[in-house]
Structure 1
């Protein structure tokens, strides 16, 4: 719904730009290439507008607050056109008067269109766009207006950090939510806070006494204080940039690597009976499950669907072809399809199997912060991998080092850091701990 709203805002902005040029072109009888001019103007405006925060839920709901970024982006775009007209000596065909009138008309229409959109969203779509949920777990709390109330006991939901299925259930429950507030007893507040930190929403815990939950700030709901323990996904601009980069990388990579993928599939089929691809349930963004794709490198009867047994050096479960593709990380290439489908990103924390162990402990038993790493999409490569934290997790320290790197990545994400991690990945494709 939100993406459709942003698309509608962009369409209305394009319409304002188009009318802004059509009207003065007709009145001034200009024969300058109108189509080319509209394409250039719309392209420049789109880039500037996205980078200036002109597209957000606030910009669709409150024009008095958030039309300013869109207006600034449009005025900056026309400034670029004025400069191009001057330096390219286009004043004869593309007059300054035409640009001035177009700028005035487009800017006025942009404000009018966004005002109309804000009124429509406020009257028709507000509840669908801002889905807010109040979860009651052993505590009574009068829900403010606009909150959907869910009683945890009625749906069999509990903050059990040792049960991945419960985390998955929670992730599915709040998938469409913009904000989730939990009112609970003091004995379960810590666990609810941990669950919310790994979720893909803004999360709040209602507390009677402020305690340390690693909170990001204090807020208020219905006149009562809450601790903000998570702020949800990347901003629209950053999420758009990350997804655009994922698609720009994985689509050409799939085309370029198609012959190698086919040869690998053929080699696997000849080497041992069974399917070419191996599917395994992993934990993804928001602690929801997804099936990761890999080239099968083990004999079918030895495949470990739950990931209970870490691969060791000279593992007799691995086939001849499997040994080569694991050493060269070729077995990971089908995950480009996971990126294409939106389950994964090129760069992010590596997704783990549900049965993964560090020593004799499940990953989430080692450190409750383990779930926090799932606030972002899992990646084919990540900060932990380029630092050399790969291979079996025979000791607790093997996991804690990776977890620390994952949390560092999530807390300090940037587009250029993703580029740097991807570049460094080329140096560690073949690693001594990969087997």
Structure 2
């Protein structure tokens, strides 16, 4: 496949050089400088909230506060993506058991890598996910240079095949805490739609577009629109 249609009717010409041009020059440096400055400011601003969430998670079951999972970053480099822990400490076993006995859950997981009624999630974890507050520790990933405020969502190595001919677009960018598909339906979108949004973001990236996505992110999160 050499052409993939986007939501506005345009197509990706996989042979073009838009991937190599992405995030280059002064604009790319400005994006990184903005990420660094904004992440420090947000960490300081949300410090009381970060502390309160950490205390609640610890009181709930005594388990770890943070969860770290290997994700693929820019250029395919693996990095530990941080989140507040939202699942039970035996989450992997719980998922394995559920998928083994529930064909509908297994199909949903295969299709989206998510479950709307996920038995692994703790009570506080469900709220953190609905509000996206579980992703606040990723501000530290931004400081490390692993992530950006805006970009494709960080995926696991098992998900890379879903990008197909568009994988180069994913590799071109630092993954983001928010991005195109998070402000255009979030988890209501199919995986294929999310891939196209990620690739479209890289192909058409401008600093002004980043600002627009950030502005749209606030009402999308507050409305819990498409969250799970």
Task: State the Cα distance separating 1:407 from its structure 2 match.
Answer: 1.3
Kindly indicate whether the alpha-carbon contact (under 8 Å) linking 2:170 and 2:199 is maintained by their aligned counterparts in 1.
Answer: yes
**Which residue in 2 is equivalent to 1:259?**
48
Q: Pick the aligned partner of 1:275 from 64, 68, 77.
A: 64
Kindly indicate whether the alpha-carbon contact (under 8 Å) linking 2:73 and 2:154 is maintained by their aligned counterparts in 1.
Answer: yes
1:431 aligns to 2:224 (yes or no):
yes
Q: Pick the aligned partner of 1:249 from 38, 41, 47.
A: 38
Runs of 4+ in 1 over 3 A off after TM superposition: 308-311
- How far apart are the structure 2 equivalents of 1:368 and 1:347? 22
Kindly indicate whether the alpha-carbon contact (under 8 Å) linking 1:232 and 1:375 is maintained by their aligned counterparts in 2.
Answer: no
- Relative to structure 1, the CA distance from residue 230 to residue 252 in structure 2 (aligned partners, 3 Å threshold; closer, same or farther) is closer
- Relative to structure 1, the CA distance from residue 215 to residue 301 in structure 2 (aligned partners, 3 Å threshold; closer, same or farther) is same
**Which residue in 2 is equivalent to 1:323?**
126
Task: State the Cα distance separating 1:432 from its structure 2 match.
Answer: 4.3
**Which residue in 1 is equivalent to 2:7?**
none
Secondary structure, aligned partner of 1:390: helix
Task: State the Cα distance separating 1:265 from its structure 2 match.
Answer: 0.4
- Relative to structure 1, the CA distance from residue 230 to residue 414 in structure 2 (aligned partners, 3 Å threshold; closer, same or farther) is closer
- How far apart are the structure 2 equivalents of 1:369 and 1:342? 23
1:351 aligns to 2:143 (yes or no):
no
Q: Which has the higher contact order (CA 8 A, sep 6+)?
A: 2
Task: For residues 258-289 of structure 1, give each alpha carbon's deviation from its aligned partner in whole angstroms, at most 9, with x where no partner exists.
Answer: 00000000000011231100000111101111
Task: State the Cα distance separating 1:241 from its structure 2 match.
Answer: 0.6
1:388 aligns to 2:179 (yes or no):
no
Q: TM-score, with normalisation over the residues of structure 2?
A: 0.80
Kindly indicate whether the alpha-carbon contact (under 8 Å) linking 2:148 and 2:175 is maintained by their aligned counterparts in 1.
Answer: yes
Q: TM-score, with normalisation over the residues of structure 1?
A: 0.43
Kindly indicate whether the alpha-carbon contact (under 8 Å) linking 1:389 and 1:398 is maintained by their aligned counterparts in 2.
Answer: no
Task: State the Cα distance separating 1:233 from its structure 2 match.
Answer: 5.0
Kindly indicate whether the alpha-carbon contact (under 8 Å) linking 2:186 and 2:225 is maintained by their aligned counterparts in 1.
Answer: no
Q: Pick the aligned partner of 2:206 from 384, 389, 414.
A: 414
Kindly indicate whether the alpha-carbon contact (under 8 Å) linking 2:27 and 2:207 is maintained by their aligned counterparts in 1.
Answer: yes
Superposition RMSD in Å: 2.6
The gaps in structure 1 that reach 5 residues or longer are: 1-189, 191-212, 217-227, 357-362, 392-396
- How far apart are the structure 1 equivalents of 2:195 and 2:21? 19
The gaps in structure 2 that reach 5 residues or longer are: 2-12, 94-105
Task: State the Cα distance separating 1:229 from its structure 2 match.
Answer: 8.4
Secondary structure, aligned partner of 1:293: strand
Structure possessing the higher radius of gyration over alpha carbons? 1
- Relative to structure 1, the CA distance from residue 365 to residue 422 in structure 2 (aligned partners, 3 Å threshold; closer, same or farther) is closer
- Relative to structure 1, the CA distance from residue 233 to residue 414 in structure 2 (aligned partners, 3 Å threshold; closer, same or farther) is closer
